[in-house]
Amino acid sequence: MFSAKVVVQNKTGLHARPASQLVQLSQKFESKIRIISDNTEIDPKSIISVLSGGVSQGTAIEVEAEGPDEEFAVNGLVELIESFTE
Task: Give the model confidence (pLDDT) of 38-59 as tens digits.
Answer: 889 999 999 999 999 999 999 9
Tell me, what's the pLDDT at 45?
98
Residue 70's alpha-carbon distances to 1, 5, 39, in angstroms, are 7, 14, 21
pLDDT of residue 81: 97
State the CATH number of the domain containing residue 48.
Answer: 3.30.1340.10
Q: How many CA atoms lie within 13 A of 71 on its CB side?
A: 0
The pLDDT tens digits of the residues spanning 7-44 come to: 999 999 999 999 999 999 999 999 999 999 988 999 99
pLDDT at residue 15, rounded to an integer: 92
Any catalytic annotation for residue 15?
yes
pTM for this one?
Answer: 0.94
Q: From the candidates 15, 26, 34, 50, give the one annotated as an active-site residue.
A: 15
Domain count, the chain: 1
Range of the domain at 43: 2-83
